[in-house]
Structures are given as C-alpha cells and as structure tokens.
Chains A and B, each alone.
Chain A
C-alpha cells in the first residue's frame, strides 16, 4: 500500500536555528514527490516537485532533497514567518491520485 509518513509531528526552532523535516514514503513507482506549505485556515501552497533520487530544489531558505525512500526539507536560518505546517505528498506512476502525509507543524520563535 502506498504510504507517506512525516516526522516530526511538531518542531519548535529559535530564529536562525537550522533543521530538517523528514518525509518517508513507500510507493509502487514514484511519479513525483511534492512539498507544500499550509498556513492555518488556508489552502496548501505549492513549494517543490522532486522526480528522481538525487534531485534537489531550493527556494529562499528552503531546500528539498530526495532519495529512493525519503525526502528532506531543510530550513536554513529560519525566520518567524516560516512558521506553518509543511505537507509532503507522493504521486504513483500511472495514477492521478496524490497521497499526503499528516504534516509537520513548524513554529519559529523570534
């Protein structure tokens, strides 16, 4: 069964304290792995798509990496405005369906 597990469930960081969020997945043929940011009461905002092991994408303080079993979202020198829930999803080959993890709630303290 295709599955996505995110850890930790919640993370508190001091401003400037770098860390990583994990997304472990099992899927029968990966079509793509996706990262989203979601603020409370709003729809998720697309961040990155990764397609193959070894691929990396960067955007401001965020960097996403992908292996055959997991993806990491690295946050470098975070700011309070980076506080949000970060969601990971996978799409298996041959399907239009996306499978989401339960997310990591990130809180960055000033």
Chain B
C-alpha cells in the first residue's frame, strides 16, 4: 500500500531533550511538509521541502530542524530551543497540488 508513515504515534520527552520524529513516504512525491496542530488552531507550517537536499522554513521554524537526504524521508527534530513543543505533528507529501497526510505523532513534553 502506498502512503505516508509517521513514527512513533505517541512520544514523551523531558524538557531540554532533543527528539526526532520520523516521516517516510512511498508515493514517489517530490514535495514534503511538516505541520504542527494545536487545539483550536489550524495547521501551521514548520518546514517544507520541494526536492532532495533542499528545504525551506515555514511560518514557525524556530526550534525545529529537518533534513532531506532521501526522497522518501523527511525527519523533523524538535530541539530544546522550542519553547512549547507539546503538540500534534503532521507530515505530508504532495503531487500536483494534492496533499496526503500521515497519521501524525503526538508529542508531549514532561
């Protein structure tokens, strides 16, 4: 089955720790995205990548980092510099305008 996988589904981290969220797609899409979703708010763009080895900051990139070494993979690192990291994180890929989302990772900072 083609699609987008995110792991883990739930993630707990202590304050001051960096954590990496995984995103893998087998749809052969060039563009990939990371969003953050908080209760009562829309999806906010963290980073996006149009092609391998290239990525751009979104609207709320501070405290986050990404890499795009392979077409299939776009991992997101939440660093200790992110002041309020507890949220639902969504990865997506797109083709001809249509975005397809993964199941999400819920990150909780303890």
Residues of A whose CB lies within 8 Å of any CB of B are 4, 31-32, 34, 36, 41-46, 49, 87, 89, 91, 96-98, 100-103
Contact B48 A97 (CB under 8 A): yes
Instruction: Classify the secondary structure of A's interface with B.
Output: strand
Inside 8 A of B2's CB, which chain A residues have their CB? none
Inside 8 A of A46's CB, which chain B residues have their CB? 98-101
Residue B50 at the A interface, CB < 8 A? Answer: yes
Q: Nearest 3 A-B pairs (CB), nearest first?
A: A43-B101, A100-B42, A100-B43
B: number of interface residues (CB 8 Å): 27
Give the CA-CA distance A41 to B48 in the complex, in Å. 22
User: Given A4-B42, A91-B97, is A97 in contact with B50 using a C-beta cutoff of 8 Å?
Assistant: no
Give the CA-CA distance A44 to B31 in the complex, in Å. 17
Contact B99 A97 (CB under 8 A): no
Other than A32-B97, A41-B106, give 11 A-B pairs with Cβ distance below 8 A.
A34-B97, A36-B101, A43-B92, A43-B102, A44-B43, A44-B101, A49-B98, A96-B31, A96-B48, A97-B48, A102-B41
Instruction: Classify the secondary structure of B's interface with A.
Output: strand
Residue of B with least CB distance to A5: B42
Residue B45 at the A interface, CB < 8 A? Answer: yes
Residue of A with least CB distance to B91: A43
Give the CA-CA distance A1 to B44 in the complex, in Å. 15
Contact with A along B78-110 (1 / 0, CB 8 A): 000000000010101010011111111010000
Contact A43 B42 (CB under 8 A): no
Inside 8 A of A42's CB, which chain B residues have their CB? 103-104
Contact with A along B18-41 (1 / 0, CB 8 A): 000000000000010101000011
Give the CA-CA distance A87 to B88 in the complex, in Å. 16
Residue B8 at the A interface, CB < 8 A? Answer: no
Residue B75 at the A interface, CB < 8 A? Answer: no
